[in-house]
A and B are shown apart, each in its own frame.
Chain A
Amino acid sequence: MRYMHHISETIDSICLGDRRFLRMPSLRTLKLGVQLVRQFHPSTKQLATFTFSASKADPSFGETTKMNLCQAVNNAMDIALKSDPSACLFGEDVAFGGVFRCSVGLQKKYGKDRVFNTPLCEQGIAGFGIGLAVAGATAIAEVQFADYIFPAFDQIVNEAAKYRYRSGGLFDCGKLTVRATWGAVGHGGLYHSQSPEGYFAHTPGLKIVIPRGPIQAKGLLLSCIRDDDPCLFFEPKMLYRTAVEEVPIGDYQLELSKAEAIRDGKDVTLVGWGTQLHILMEAAEIANEQFGASCEVIDLKTVLPWDVDTVAESVTKTGHLLVSHEAPVTCGFAAEIGTTIQERCFLNLEAPIMRVCGWDTPFPHVYEPFYLPTKWRVVDAIKKLSNF
């Protein structure tokens, strides 16, 4: 009993005291969840690498409540399942609530036929999801870590992305959304840290979306689930519990393929997505304090098809562009942004476009602090851009 209490407390603190998330099927599954949450739950020490910048939701979305990113995802899926009786949520270990607790309570609420475990096989999960969508059902597939999406690469790239095109519009799997946890987490090593958006960005037919916080996670996930094209939704696992803000409780969507300037500036444009946005925000602040550089920070949000206009407008104004992502630099999505902006804004650019990214190595375990494109590397790059 004491042990049970201890676990409840842990979950409680993780889920910010929301007791709805405490309905667990058994002690065994509860323990499993807690172990996995602990394993990939950023500790205080690791949190020191960045500070979350909370956003304000559009007041027209109505009443708000505090949610972390994990709860925002849960809430979005709850709304999606409620508003669409064809919607199913499936993947490895989603039935008991998911190893990151994103699907807690949903099976109990919507039934075993709508929220269910699959065998441990990513190509099967993706293929099965495509089939559901082809038959007209809404499919929300979970891949436990983006690092393990590669067995499903063929189904996503050759099948999901090309379904509508190759059949001349007769068939499509637009109602498919694949969710996967994504990005660095402090100690995830090679296979619990990857950011594979660059691989998929080379695939016409897909949409790729990455939120920077709970408000965007809920609105963008609902848009992905309801969009008519197959979407990959990458959830920065570092933010699951560290990112907390006032999220509208109702049903709302945020437009896909729409970037957002979250900090105004006139000297340098900084572009990123996911966790890296918060690094950029901090770097912008430091650059301003230390050498008076005024940075405009843009959250790309949708990696494919991406919002060229918003970035180009900003660069036209600032004349400097820095793109930053956790993924390795060579052929990372920053390369695409850099080339496109160079074509669009050649006459406005006053310095070479800079990329501050992960190094071209696998994602290391103990060297993570040196691998990541930290705020200091960004500050250094802003300084070089300003002095060019």
Chain B
Amino acid sequence: MLSRLSRLGLPTYAAIAHASLAPIVTHYSTAETDSFRVHEFSEKYFHHRKAQFTEKMTLIDPLHAPTIPIYRVTDSTGKFVDPSQDPNFDKEFAIDVYRKMSVLEQMDKILYDAQRQGRISFYMTNFGEEASHIGSAAALQDDDLIYAQYREAGVLLWRGFSLHDFINQCYGNAKDIGKGKQMPVHYGSLEHHFVAISSPLATQIPQAVGSAYAFKRVENGRIVVVYFGEGAASEGDAHAALNFASTLRCPVIFFCRNNGYAISTPTNEQYGGDGIAGRGPGYGIKTIRVDGNDFFAVYNATKLAREVALQNEPVLIEAMTYRIGHHSTSDDSTAYRSADEVKIWNKKEHPIARFRTYLIDKGWWKEGEEIEWQKNMRKEVLTAFSEAEKVQMLGPHEMFEDVYKTKPLNLIEQQKQLDEHLQHYAEHYPLERFGMMHQKD
């Protein structure tokens, strides 16, 4: 494992352990009587990793081991630190990246305000994490299957999910492809290979492993990418998934967005180890930690991870970032963190600003263009928004659809009961907003 992981250019947990054990390993026993056990442990227990004895009693102290370093390509000013790591994007691609990141930001601003005005019931912004979404999505094949948590709208946006699709979902109107069943931001698209989001955290992680296993069996050249936050990584399902992916050798990338908070809970109350990346090697999973605000680092790491995954080896990426916005529209984050902290990330360390500096340095974008672009983009989002607002909801019969493939008798009966009730009490229900009452029998 040591050598396989160091191919990623990373010191591994094993290497770190070795470093802290340096005085010990010189004492390991070579007695002939040990050879059976050393062989058994190496082969059967550690899967061909070398076992050894030591006569020195030492506890491995993770607090004194170095942390896994954060891979970056550009610095805070958008300049390449090591030019060999420049993926050399062409102008068209780079501008597309920039536009997608800023459309996401603009859509977030408008929908956040819309929730504040009571026009949609709920919203979650992506502020500060735009580079990790678009950077990873751009490095994938467009039909790689995505399982997301809820703060990855940029992945869908990159794949061409339209502003109308996003906003219709948030309204739950008749044009929502999810048919108004879920809360806002629970997007899903078969066309864009993006599995419908659900609220229970981390449940998607072992599911992604199962889908990856199915892909491996049919050898379709696709992989699965599953996104989750550092808080969700504490769920039992995250453990299940990493372990299953490792033992069943699945072509899956685990992409953890470590943004410092799970609602109000800071990471020091979330875990005691070296972040999420620190866990990967313990599961026998190739791991990298990246600067999540550096588009290039996320892009490069995901590209490499995809190549590894295609060899039926899971990869864990931990993208270090910061949740600039509130957790959701139901949260006021000033109750648990300082405004100054947010301000620094928003002004000095912002992924979009960092990418813009790169574009300007290249001469591909001018400050003057920005104002015009912002204006047009805002108009586009607002148009989609006002259109979505005018669309009615599906009829209440839709509520009984898709529980099962075929509607069972009890649901047919219950739908009839609702109809009869509405015949007499219609005035007490918001039927005027539900246009297609009798679209289905």
- Say how far A140's CB is from chain B's closest CB, in angstroms: 13
Q: How far is the CA of A153 from the CA of B410 in the complex (A)?
A: 24
Check if A168 sits within 8 Å of B181, measured CB to CB: yes
Query: In the complex, what residues of B have CB within 8 A of residue A88's CB?
Result: 213, 217
* A119 contacts partner chain B, Cβ-Cβ < 8 Å: yes
- CB-based contact A123/B215 at 8 Å: no
Q: Which of A230-275 contact B (CB under 8 A)?
A: 257
In the complex, which residue of chain B has the Cβ closest to the Cβ of A136? Answer: B214
Complex-state Cα separation, A132 to B218, whole angstroms: 12
With a cutoff of 8 Å between Cβ atoms, the chain B residues found around residue A174 in the complex are 405
- Please report the C-alpha to C-alpha distance between residue A87 and residue B166 in the assembled complex, in whole angstroms: 35
CB under 8 Å from chain A, chain B span 365-415: 401-406, 408-410
B401→A132 contact, CB < 8 A: no
Convert A115-133 into 0s and 1s, putting 1 for each residue whose CB lies closer than 8 angstroms to a CB of B. Answer: 0101101011011111111
- Cα A387 to Cα B193 with chains together (Å): 64
Q: Mark B151-188, 1 if CB is under 8 A from A, else 0.
A: 00000000000000000000000001111111000101
Q: Are B196 and A130 in contact (CB under 8 A)?
A: no
| Distance, CA A219 to CA B343, complexed state (A) | 64
B233 lies within 8 A of chain A by Cβ:
no
Across the interface, do A162 and B198 meet the contact criterion of CB distance under 8 Å? Answer: yes
Cβ-defined contact, A159 with B401, below 8 A: no
Q: Say which residue of A86, A155, A207, A309 sits within 8 Å of B203 (CB atoms).
A: A155
Q: Answer whether residue B131 sits at the interface, using C-beta atoms and an 8 A cutoff.
A: no
B290 within 8 A of A: no
Q: Which of chain B's residues 216-248 have a Cβ closer than 8 Å to chain A?
A: 217-218, 224, 236-237, 239-241, 243-244, 247-248
Given A135-B215, A165-B181, decide whether A171 and B206 contact each other with a Cβ distance below 8 A: no
Chain A residues with CB under 8 A of B213 = 88, 128, 131-132
Contact A169 B211 (CB under 8 A): no
Q: Which residues of A contact B402 (CB under 8 A)?
A: 164-165, 167-169
A204 within 8 A of B: yes
Confirm or deny: B65 has a beta carbon within 8 angstroms of a beta carbon on chain A: no
Contact call B203/A158, Cβ cutoff below 8 A: yes
Given A127-B206, A131-B209 in contact, is the A170-B177 Cβ separation under 8 Å?
A: yes
A304 to chain B, nearest CB (A): 9
Is residue A137 within 8 Å, beta carbon to beta carbon, of the partner chain?
yes
Contact with B along A133-163 (1 / 0, CB 8 A): 1111101000000000001001100110011
Query: For residues 70 through 98 of chain A, which have their beta carbon under 8 Å from a beta carbon of chain B?
Result: 86, 88
Nearest B residue to A309, CB-CB: B409
Across the interface, B244 reaches (CB within 8 A) one of A128, A135, A158, namely A128
Q: Within 8 Å CB of B196, what residues of A?
A: 163, 166-168, 170-171
B145 contacts the other chain (CB 8 A)? yes
B189 within 8 A of A: yes
Asked whether, in the complex, the Cβ of B403 is within 8 Å of the Cβ of A169, the reply is no
With beta carbons under 8 angstroms apart, the residue of B240, B248, B410 that contacts A123 is B240
* Residue from B195, B209, B236, B403 within 8 A of A165 (CB atoms): B403
Q: What is the CB-to-nearest-CB distance from B245 to chain A, in angstroms, rounded to a whole number?
A: 9
Given A168-B402, A169-B179, A170-B196, check contact A113 B217 (CB 8 Å): yes
Residue A18 interfacial (CB < 8 Å) = no
Docked pose: A229 CA to B408 CA in angstroms: 12
A133 to B241, CA, bound (A): 16
Q: Contact at A305–B214, with CB atoms within 8 Å?
A: no
B198, B207, B404: the one contacting A128 at CB < 8 Å is B207
Judge if B205 is at the interface, Cβ distance under 8 Å: yes
B54-73: CB near A (< 8 Å → 1, else 0) gives: 00000000000000000000
Tell me if A154 and B188 are in contact (CB < 8 A).
no
- CA A154 – CA B198 in complex, angstroms? 12
B190 within 8 Å of A by Cβ?
Answer: yes
Q: Across the interface, do A118 and B181 meet the contact criterion of CB distance under 8 Å?
A: no
Residues of B within 8 A of A121 (CB): 236, 239-240, 243-244
Q: A308 at the A/B interface (Cβ < 8 Å)?
A: yes
Does chain B have a CB within 8 A of A205? yes
Tell me, in angstroms, the Cα distance from A48 to B404 when the chains sit together.
Answer: 41
Is the C-beta of B208 less than 8 angstroms from some C-beta in chain A? yes
Interface residues in A, total, Cβ within 8 A: 49
Verify if B210 is at the interface (C-beta below 8 Å from A).
yes
Chain A residues with CB below 8 A from B241, complex form:
124, 127
For A305, the closest partner residue in chain B by CB is: B408
Asked if A172 is at the interface of the complex by the 8 Å CB criterion, the answer is yes
B212 in contact (CB, < 8 A): yes
Task: Tell whether, in the assembled complex, residue B237 and residue A158 are in contact, meaning their CB atoms are under 8 Å apart.
Answer: no
> Which residues of the partner chain B approach A128 to less than 8 Å between Cβ atoms?
206-207, 209-210, 213, 240, 244, 248
**Least Cβ distance of A10 to chain B in Å?**
28
Residues of B within 8 Å of A166, CB to CB, are 178, 181-182, 186, 196, 198
Please measure, in the bound complex, the distance between the C-alpha atom of A127 and the C-alpha atom of B195, giving whole angstroms: 14
Contact of A123 with B200 in the complex, beta carbons under 8 Å: no
> Chain A nearest CB: distance from B191 CB in Å?
9
- Known contacts A116-B248, A128-B209, A158-B203: A168-B179 contact under CB 8 Å: yes
Return the CB mask of A336-353 against B: 1 if under 8 Å, else 0. Answer: 000000000000000000
Interface membership of A228, Cβ < 8 A: yes
Pairwise interchain contact B211-A205, C-beta atoms closer than 8 A: no
The CA of A127 and the CA of B406, in the complex, are separated in Å by: 24
How many angstroms between the C-alpha atoms of A154 and B247 in the bound complex? 23
Contact B178 A170 (CB under 8 A): yes
Residues of A within 8 A of B403 (CB): 164-165, 204-205
For the complex, give the distance between the alpha carbons of A298 and B224 in Å: 47
CA distance A172 to B213 in the complex (A): 17
Instruction: Out of B178, B217, B404, name the residue touching A137 (CB < 8 Å).
Output: B217
B195, B203, B210, B213: residue with the most chain A Cβ atoms closer than 10 Å: B210
| Complex contacts, A134 vs chain B, CB 8 Å | 195, 207, 210-211
A124 to B210, CA, bound (A): 9
Q: Which residues of B contact A124 (CB under 8 A)?
A: 206, 237, 240-241, 243-244
Chain A residues within 8 Å of B210, by CB: 127-135, 139
B409 engages A118 (CB within 8 Å)? no
**In whole angstroms, what is the CA distance A5 to B207 when docked?**
43
CB <8 Å contact, B206 and A131: yes
Write out the residue numbers on chain A whose beta carbons fall within 8 Å of the beta carbon of B224: 131
Which chain A residues border B207 with CB–CB below 8 Å?
127-128, 130-131, 134, 159
Shortest CB distance A289–B (Å)? 37
Q: Please, how many angstroms separate the alpha-carbon atoms of A229 and B407 in the complex? A: 11
Q: A123 contacts B236, CB within 8 Å?
A: yes
Q: Are A171 and B405 in contact (CB under 8 A)?
A: no
Given A166-B186, A170-B196, answer yes or no on A127-B205 (Cβ-Cβ < 8 Å): yes
**Out of B181, B186, B214, B404, which one reaches A135, CB within 8 Å?**
B214
* Chain A, Cβ-Cβ closest to B236: A123
With a cutoff of 8 Å between Cβ atoms, the chain B residues found around residue A168 in the complex are 176-181, 188, 196, 402
Other than A130-B210, A167-B196, give 10 A-B pairs with Cβ distance below 8 A.
Answer: A118-B247, A164-B404, A165-B402, A166-B186, A168-B178, A168-B181, A170-B196, A207-B404, A228-B404, A229-B405
- Could you tell me which A residues sit within 8 Å of B by CB distance? 86, 88, 113-114, 116, 118-119, 121, 123-124, 126-137, 139, 151, 154-155, 158-159, 162-172, 174, 204-205, 207, 228-229, 257, 305, 308-309
Which residues of B line the A interface, CB within 8 A? 145, 176-182, 186, 188-190, 195-196, 198, 200, 203, 205-215, 217-218, 224, 236-237, 239-241, 243-244, 247-248, 401-406, 408-410
| Contacts A/B (CB < 8 Å), 10 sampled | A88-B217, A124-B240, A124-B244, A131-B209, A133-B210, A135-B145, A136-B214, A166-B198, A167-B178, A228-B406
